[in-house]
Structure 1
Amino acid sequence: MTKYPLTLTQYIDGKVDHGNGQEHEITNPFDNSSICKLKSASKEEVDFAIENAHATFKSSKWQKMLGRERGELLSNLARIVKRDVEKFAHLESIDTGIPIRETRMEISTSALHFDYFAGHAGKIEGSFQDLGARFNYMIREPYGVIGQIVPWNTPFKLMARGFAAAFACGNTMVIKPSIVAPLSILALAEALDEAGFPKGSVNIITGSGRVTGKQIVEHKLIKKIIFTGGGEGGYEILQQTARNVTPSVLELGGKGPIIVTENIDFDETIDGVLTAAFARKAEVCFAGTRLFLSHQMHDKFIERLSEQAQKIPMGDPLDEKTQLGPLMTKKRVEDISKIVDQSKNEGVNIVCGGFKPTDKNLSKGNFYAPTIATNISHNSHMAQEEIFGPVLSVFKYDDLDDAVEKSNDSDFGLASYVWSNDIRQAHDLAHRIESGNVFINAYGYQSEIPFGGYKKSGVGREHGSEAMLEYTQSKSITVGMGRFQS
């Protein structure tokens, strides 16, 4: 149940349609109760959504729209989202399990994304070169229809960051939220109408990734893909887009290292590590999941860290006191339990957590206690694979060279963390870590900061001015000024 009316429709060409595809049940991770049932878009509806967005992009009205006019639309949308933050946050909490205190921040951050890229929409610049008898100028143009496939973890913010930049650049959009957590994005339809977005400029359709998502990715009118999700999904997209040579922006996961040096503010660092490791249930790609400590400080730090981890309040995501909500699905709990149990058999020491709570108010939900593990082989599953849940693996290092080497011994390179009171030392570590993003004594990204990964963590960059390059393509125009000479 929800106190806000649910938008359970496809949104195509400014109109709503209940969908003619397969029916899916949306459940609340807190107690696995049914929230609602939702029909996917049919194959014909997906095709129409893409063709309609393409027709809108090609229309003279769209082609003549100035960047500052698109910026005004995004500013309008930001204002509406700020006004309705409680509605969007509530809907996101009930179908993802993220605590309301965090979804409020996610929705507010999304509004900042809209505002930030509204300011960039009218500032897309090219270049000029004087070549003597010729001159050349370069302009940047939008791609066309961009397909955005949004995951179930922090869906509204992940939708907003890609959509805001791509729309600001002059592209039209077809957005597919996750079939298990679509509510906050479906509620965006009313806001788009109120903000004055042209019909067909943003279409929202629902369906599974393997059916609806695949159809979007392979459609010849889709000119670029935005995808955030698991590695296997990203690898499939790369194969599917090969036929049409469709470029993509992919964020595919992480195994974030946290290097803690010995010259730290102890209490502040404990708080920082807890946040990086367990915020949003650690169902985020940029979580800090591998903690590196010196032999000298290891025992003291882990004792304090585990004490604080066991105090993290778990409960109803709509309760203001809750800091750790339920995982997305029962299967997520089962998968993490198997990994932890197998690790125990391999000699891993579970300092705290490592179980599904049996408390009466938690037993029906998809909860897993914050877990800290030590004595881990660096080549084990727990050390190398993304667990995507509240499990922190701890390793000892001999010196900082050893810490960097172990941090870089990973297929991933999305977000990394350094805690140090020696700023020169911290900068040195940041430069040596193989990661698209390094946070020194900090956690979390924002609109202005370019975000993306190294290695198997993905390709492309979102946020910041670099995003404007991702969603435009350059066109070089050369003009001969004198008589033509071969």
Structure 2
Amino acid sequence: MDTTTTDTQPMLIGGEWITSEDGAIDSVNPATGRINRRVTAASAAQVDAAVAAARDAASAKGWRDMLPHVRAQILGRISDGIRAHADELAHLQMIENGKVLSECRTQVAGAAATYRYYAAVCETLGAEVPPARGDYLSMTAYEPYGVVAAITPWNSPMTMEAQKIAPALAAGNAVLLKPSEVTPSVGLAVARIAQEAGLPPGILNVLPGTGAVTGHAIIHHPGVRMVSFTGGTQTGRSIAAVAAQRLIPVALELGGKSPHIIFDDAQLDAAIDGVVDGIFEGSGQSCVAGSRLFVHRKVLDQVLAMLVERANGLRVDLPDAPGAQMGPVSGFRHRERIEAMVQGARDEGGEILAGGCRPEGDHLAAGAFYRPTVIAGLGNHATAVREEIFGPVLCVLPFDDEDDLIAQANDTAFGLASGIWTANYQRAWRVARALEAGLVWINTYKQLSIATPFGGFKESGIGREKGVTGVRLYQQSKGIYWSMNPANVRA
């Protein structure tokens, strides 16, 4: 697996690696500003060819009718291949989205575990035979859609792509993967591993390119029967509108502005660890980032002092530097947006307690680096508090009691994740049930399991990925009835 080549990288259609100079995108290292490589971008015509190849592969008996335990063996071999190429895959992700190398390695391990988990689900998942309500037997069968599209973001391509591809394959579908134009290389590398693992040609096709060209062609194509998208809420709305017109199912995992809550009885050292990891890991570029911190007024000053000390002490460095805790954000335009949001917070009366600027150091000057930032003094209706910044920016707000907290925490268009720190288990339960979020962490944060369903409330999404339901997401149910009346069968 070559991570340093300067040749234009091909895309995968119908088992064939295709290079075209007619359209290409540049993969840029956000830590250095240098181009990693050029990658072929799929045109509308190439999307059409990929859908045709996927439809042929999906309708062929080889994959659709493959015994579940045999399909599971292929998924298991993909997991083994990811582990065998772990260092190269971690390096590929690092040079394209700037995450520190240690986090990239963790995400590679998570992707391998995801394929292993869905291999097990594929082999063991059963269907239902409900009690009869007459002289018949009824059962439920689950059928693949055929061709499904997986459109993924740049912040965690290793895990996000695995969470879509593995269950979609386990469900018996053929997949069109459209990776982010920022991070096209990981999906291509994993596709090579899948080929080596014995995945039939056409079952996985990888189509790098822009959303405006490649993504548009995919979601509008009549041969695509289901779309799974992770990314920004506005793009999610556009995809949902197309899906509604086409009457096809769609799964959307979208933005978040997650409330992270510290009560006055919390174990503060542990809570601060959770808050710092929850917002500054990955430079804050996570849909579940705890970007709104609500602190009980009794401990507000203490928490702010601890946060400022921790934020100022985080090591912002090149992502492969020993001891680096934060790398760059994903790109220079994205950094400009973060800077504009922080300036807007200043203009609205926010006090920048830490960060709010680029780090010093000549070795970082060429990259898209930004310091971990803590902002206080804003109300719950400030722009920086309400809009997803998707960067290392934490807004801290006080609350006085439980009712005040719930009102502020739920006063948002989003509803993806949340966190609670308290020693009172009854309070934790009450607040967890009251929060309008698809995920609640209690005395921890960003603890994730592939076995637990994941998704958002409100404008944070539709549908649930992960868990057993992650396979059912990519299947449609069919009821089958058998008459048990002997008179209906010829003797």
Q: What's the TM-score, normalizing by structure 2?
A: 0.96
Match for residue 459 of structure 2?
456
* Residue 470, structure 1, aligned to residue 473, structure 2: yes
How far apart, CA to CA, are the structure 1 residues paired with 2:403 and 2:457? Answer: 20
Which residue of structure 1 aligns with residue 280 of structure 2?
A: 278
Task: Supply the distance in 2 between the matched residues of 1:6 and 1:447 (Cα, whole angstroms).
Answer: 36
Q: Deviations over 1:149-189 (max 9, x none)?
A: 11111111100011111111111111011112111111112
Once the two structures are overlaid, the 10-residue window that deviates more, 209-218 or 133-142, is 133-142
TM-score, normalising length: structure 1: 0.97
Contact persistence 1:20–1:42 (CA under 8 A): no
Once residues 131 and 399 of structure 1 are traced to their aligned partners in structure 2, the CA distance between those partners, rounded to angstroms, is 52
Q: Which residue of 2 aligns with 1:66?
A: 67
CA distance in 1, matches of 2:230, 2:274: 25
Contact 1:125 1:139 in 2 (8 A): no
Q: Which moved further from structure 2: 146-155 or 16-25?
A: 16-25
Give the CA deviation at 1:28.
0.6
Structure 2 distance, partners of 1:217, 1:446, is 29
**Contact 1:148 1:175 (8 Å CA) reproduced:** yes
Judging changes above 3 Å, is the alpha-carbon distance between structure 1 residues 193 and 5 closer, same or farther for their aligned structure 2 residues?
A: farther
Report the Cα distance in structure 2 between the residues aligned to 1:163 and 1:6, rounded to whole angstroms: 27
Instruction: Work out the CA distance in 1 between the residues paired with 2:254 and 2:444.
Output: 22
Q: CA deviation at 1:4?
A: 7.3
1:19 alignment counterpart? 20
Q: Deviations over 1:350-409 (max 9, x none)?
A: 111111224212121111111101110211111111010000011000112211211111
Contact 1:97 1:328 in 2 (8 A): yes
Partner amino acid, structure 2, of 1:113:
T
Partner of 2:400: 398
CA distance in 1 between partners of 2:477 and 2:40 (Å): 40
How far apart in 2 are the matches of 1:332 and 1:121?
A: 39
* C-alpha separation in 2, matches of 1:194 and 1:39: 22
Corresponding residue for 1:172? Answer: 174
- Decide whether the 8 Å contact of 2:331 with 2:368 is kept in 1: yes
Q: How does 1:431-450 map to 2 (within 5 A)?
A: 431-444=433-446, 445-450=448-453
Q: Quick one: distance in 1 between partners of 2:256 and 2:45?
A: 36
| Residue aligning to 1:242 | 244
Counterpart of 1:479 (choices 465, 473, 482) is 482
Q: Distance in 2 between matches of 1:342 and 1:102?
A: 31
| Maintained 8 Å contact 1:7/1:186 | no
Say if 2:120 is the partner of 1:116: no
- Counterparts of 2:347 and 2:316, CA distance in 1: 27
Structure 1 residue 252: deviation in Å?
Answer: 0.9
| TM superposition shift of 1:64 | 2.2
CA distance in 1, matches of 2:39, 2:89: 18
Match of 1:356 in 2: 358
Asked whether the 8 Å contact 1:151–1:177 carries over to 2, the reply is yes
Q: How many Å separate the matches in 2 of 1:161 and 1:239? A: 24
CA deviations on 1:38-87 (whole Å, 9 max, x unpaired) are 22122222111111111011112223201111111111011111121110
In 2, the alpha carbon distance for the partners of 1:427 and 1:82 equals 39
Q: Which residue of 1 aligns with 2:327?
A: 325
Once structures 1 and 2 are overlaid, which stretch shifts more, 422-431 or 243-252? 422-431
Q: Deviations over 1:439-485 (max 9, x none)?
A: 1122221211111000000001011112122111110122334359x
Moved over 6 A (4+): 4-7
Name the amino acid aligned to 1:469.
Answer: R
Conserved in 1, the CA contact under 8 Å of 2:93 and 2:183?
yes
Q: 1:153 to 1:459 in 2, by over 3 A?
A: same
Is contact 1:4–1:87 with CA below 8 Å preserved after alignment?
A: no
In structure 1, how many angstroms separate the alpha carbons of the residues matched to 2:65 and 2:172? 10
**Contact 2:135-2:484 within 8 A present in 1 as well:** yes
CA contact (8 A) 1:101 1:320 kept: no
Task: Give the C-alpha shift of residue 7 in structure 1.
Answer: 8.1
TM-superposed deviation, 1:141? 1.2
Structure 1, gaps ≥5 residues long: none
Partners of 2:267 and 2:7 lie apart in 1 by: 46
Check 1:263–1:7 CA distance in 2 against 1; reply closer, same or farther (3 A cut): farther
Letter in 2 for 1:298: L
CA contact (8 A) 2:11 2:207 kept: yes
Give the structure 2 partner of residue 213 of structure 1. Answer: 215
Q: Which residue of 2 aligns with 1:313?
A: 315
For 1:114, the aligned partner's letter is Y
Aligned in 2, Cα 1:3/1:30: closer, same or farther, shift over 3 Å? same
Which is further off, 413-422 or 384-393?
413-422
Between the aligned partners of 1:466 and 1:268, the Cα distance in structure 2 is 32
Q: Compared with structure 1, are the counterparts of its residues 100 and 6 closer, same or farther at alpha carbon in structure 2 (3 Å cutoff)? A: farther
Separation (CA, whole Å) in 2 of partners of 1:7 and 1:457? 36
Cα contact 2:8–2:40 (8 A) shared by 1: no
Please list, as runs of the form range in 1=range in 2, the aligned pairs for 1:72-471 lying within 5 A after superposition: 72-128=73-129, 129-444=131-446, 445-471=448-474
Q: Is the 8 A contact 1:99 1:320 kept in 2?
A: no
Contact 1:178 / 1:208 at 8 angstroms: preserved in 2?
A: yes
Deviates more, 1:344-353 or 1:128-137: 128-137
Q: Secondary structure at the match of 1:442?
A: coil
Question: Any conservation in 1 of the 2:279–2:394 contact (CA below 8 Å)?
Answer: yes
- Mapped partners of 2:33, 2:353: distance in 1: 29
Q: Secondary structure at the match of 1:462?
A: coil
* Counterpart-to-counterpart distance in 2, 1:10 and 1:339: 36
Change (3 A) 1:101 1:7: farther
Structure 2 unmatched ranges of 5 or more:
none
Shift of 1:122: 2.1
CA contact (8 A) 1:6 1:183 kept: no
- Alpha-carbon deviations, 1:240-274, whole Å to 9, x = none? 22232111110111001001111122211111110
Paired residue secondary structure (1:141): strand
Tell whether the 8 Å contact from 1:250 to 1:458 is kept in structure 2 after alignment: yes
Q: Which amino acid aligns with 1:332?
A: H
Rounded to whole Å, the distance in 1 between the matches of 2:187 and 2:248 is 25
* Count of matched residue positions in the alignment of Structure 1 and Structure 2: 484
After superposition, the C-alpha distances for 1:385-442 in whole angstroms (9 at most, x for unaligned) are: 1010000011000112211211111100101011122222212211111100001122
